[in-house]
Amino acid sequence: RLADLKGLKRGRFRLGVITTAKYFAPEILGAFCETYPGIDVSLKVSNRDRIIERMLNHEDDLYIFGEPDSIGLSVEATYLAPNPLIIVARADHPLVGEKNIPLERIIQERFILREPGSGIRDAVTRLFSKHGLKPNVRMELGSNEAIKHAIIAGLGISTLSLHSLNLDGGAGRLTMLDVEGFPIQRAWYLVHPKGRDLSLIARAFLAFAVEREAEIQASLDRTDAALRLSSPSA
């Protein structure tokens, strides 16, 4: 078998990903394990700062995160898929159905922000400060899931990756607002430190994952369509 020839019969593969990638990485890993059943895989999910720290400590074989050029380190980065950030509100929010809502209007809303170290937090605060604005932060939460629950509980609006609403996550109860400057277009990259040889397994995973871009895009499109349906005025 080809897998045996390539030395992929047995071994270990450790993947470290930012929180938004946890909504898709298990599917890629699952398919990978079917192709290479002798390989033990582990998945570590954390925020951007922690994942970069893990990379510096060589704790995993490969990483998924965004903006690899901004970390001041030589890395090899391979584009994987889009990772758009959207403004999420409860489906009955008064701003639902309004077009191109100005950021000045958004800062009047109670805002839920991710914890320091989060890439989402950085991206959203950067966008607001570019306009000389600050979101009206009423709560900081260290998890996208907790944020979804907080929005449903009426505690405010927030920024999430479109990926975090896949598989009916929040369908019918959450929707996306049409806000100026959003979606913030970002991407996931497969990253490892430059000059550090990838194992055969890690190389096989990288090639395997890159082939899944169309699937990831299709999942995003489904999530986008489901969210639009959940907004009463759509």
Should residue 164 be labelled a site residue for ligand PGA when binding is judged by CB under 6 A?
no
Residue nearest to ligand PGA (CB): 119
Find the binder of ligand PGA among 16, 68, 84, 119 (CB under 6 A): 119
The conformation of residue 60, written as its DSSP 8-state character, comes to S
Instruction: Between 164 and 231, name the residue whose CB sits nearer to ligand PGA.
Output: 164
- Is residue 3 within 8 Å of residue 50, measured between CB atoms? no
Indicate the helix (H) or strand (E) that contains 202: helix 200-210
- 161: which strand partners? 85
Should residue 20 be labelled a site residue for ligand PGA when binding is judged by CB under 6 A?
yes
Q: Closest separation between CB of residue 215 and ligand PGA, Å?
A: 18
- Angle CA 127–122–110, to nearest 5: 70
Find the binder of ligand PGA among 8, 15, 47, 202 (CB under 6 A): 47
Q: Are strands 85-90 and 157-161 parallel, antiparallel or unpaired?
A: antiparallel
Alpha carbon of residue 191 to chain centroid: 15
Q: Which residue has the tokens 């299709």?
A: 218
Instruction: Between 96 and 114, name the residue whose CB sits nearer to ligand PGA.
Output: 114
Instruction: Between 110 and 186, name the residue whose CB sits nearer to ligand PGA.
Output: 186
- Distance between CA 136 and CA 156 in Å, rounded? 10
Q: Closest separation between CB of residue 114 and ligand PGA, Å?
A: 5
Should residue 118 be labelled a site residue for ligand PGA when binding is judged by CB under 6 A?
yes
Find the binder of ligand PGA among 83, 158, 219, 230 (CB under 6 A): 83
H helix runs in 71-140, sequence order: 103-106, 119-130
Find the binder of ligand PGA among 15, 18, 55, 160 (CB under 6 A): 18
Should residue 114 be labelled a site residue for ligand PGA when binding is judged by CB under 6 A?
yes
Q: Which residue has the tokens 């009916």?
A: 168
Length in residues, the chain: 234
Should residue 158 be labelled a site residue for ligand PGA when binding is judged by CB under 6 A?
no
- Is residue 159 within 8 Å of residue 118, measured between CB atoms? no
Should residue 48 be labelled a site residue for ligand PGA when binding is judged by CB under 6 A?
yes
Should residue 22 be labelled a site residue for ligand PGA when binding is judged by CB under 6 A?
no
- Is residue 160 within 8 Å of residue 137, measured between CB atoms? no
Judged by CB under 6 A, which stretch of 52-60, 112-120, 128-136, 148-156 contacts ligand PGA?
112-120
Residues that bind ligand PGA (CB under 6 A): 18-20, 47-48, 66, 83, 114, 118-120, 161
